[in-house]
Amino acid sequence: MPRVRIWFVVTVVVLVLVPGAGCSSGSSITAESTCGAYLGSETQERHASAARISTELNAYSAGNSMWGRSLDAECAMAPDTTLRAYFAGQLALDVPSVAMERTLNVGDTVLVNTLAYTRAAPRRGEVVLFIAPESWRTGATKERFIKRVIGAGGDHVVCCDAQHRLVLNGHPLDEPYLYTDASGRADPTSSDAFDIEVPTGQLWVLGDHRSRSGDSREHFLRFGDIAQATVPVEAVVGRAFVVFDSREHDEPRWLSVPPTYADIPDPPRS
């Protein structure tokens, strides 16, 4: 019987002991893989897998390359989440009102990550979907709202400075996302002055189309009650992260936090 060559023995041992050795890298990421495993793979492989798995799981815009970018950004927040759970946690919602124009236009489809706040709280500048307080609703079908978070618990929000900008924790806030009409005229930040501090566990949310949005500002001016004017953090369903324009479905637009929020200081601790 011929002797077994030492290199053959070593090869067999490696194939037995090393997970995935001898398998093609393209098949290593599945719907049951965790986000951590996904992020640990090569960029080209994981993006191809994201497009494939989105198709397998019938996700909105299945197969679109945007899923790779989405998973890159979102998976770090919950590395032990399986990709199956991640895709199941995405909610596709047709935009019903003008309150967030031109960030979100009527007829657009926005994708909401309902897992975004399992380990983190909503941040200033993020666009969130939430269950509105009852006093905000105009009917049984008008309970889910999408607005931008301007302030969280402890934040001091004032309208307005000499340039008619919001002042957040003593720092002026430029808002490039505010609605502009066809002539290029921007919506005013607010038609009325206010000076509030956001209660702990609550959010001060505003629409980007300020003059057409039923939001924290509008309800505070109506009721004069900061509790009624803010949204409980636990009412937030998820974070809107990408929008598909109703006229160009193949061109996703990302909803990132505007850089202006990076300059806002945290409120002083009491």
98: domain CATH number? Answer: 2.10.109.10
Q: Same domain, yes or no, for 108 and 159?
A: yes
165 found inside a domain? yes
- Are 155 and 135 found together in one domain? yes
Does the residue 6 lie in any domain?
no
* 99 and 83 assigned to the same domain: no
179 beta partners = none
- Tell me if 231 is assigned to some domain: yes
Residue 205 and residue 147 share a domain: yes
CB 158 within 8 A of CB 194: yes
CB-based contacts of 135, cutoff 8 Å, min separation 6: 219, 223, 228
Q: Do residue 84 and residue 98 come from a single domain?
A: no
* Closest listed residue to residue 167, CA positions, set 181, 153, 152, 157: 157
Residues 138 and 61 in one domain: no
Domain-embedded: residue 12: no
Task: Please check whether residues 175 and 202 belong to one and the same domain.
Answer: yes
Are 130 and 143 in contact by the 8 Å Cβ rule? The answer is no
CA dihedral 173, 246, 180, 156 (to 10 degrees): -20
What is the pTM for the complete model shown?
0.87
**pLDDT (tens digit, 0 to 9) for every residue of the chain, 270 residues total?**
444 444 333 333 333 333 333 333 445 899 999 999 999 999 999 999 999 999 999 999 999 999 999 999 888 888 999 999 999 999 999 998 999 999 999 999 999 999 999 889 999 999 999 999 999 988 765 799 999 999 999 999 999 999 999 999 999 999 999 999 999 999 999 999 999 999 999 999 999 999 999 999 999 999 999 999 999 999 999 999 999 988 776 678 999 999 999 999 999 886
Instruction: Give the end of a domain, one of 43, 66, 88.
Output: 88
> Of the candidates 63, 88, 113, which is a domain's last residue?
88
CA distance 258 to 141: 31
Kindly state the tokens that stand for 162: 């000499």
Same domain, 191 and 143: yes
User: What total number of domains does the chain contain?
Assistant: 2
Q: What range defines the domain where residue 29 resides?
A: 25-88
Among 50, 68, 88, the domain boundary falls at: 88
94 and 84 housed in the same domain: no
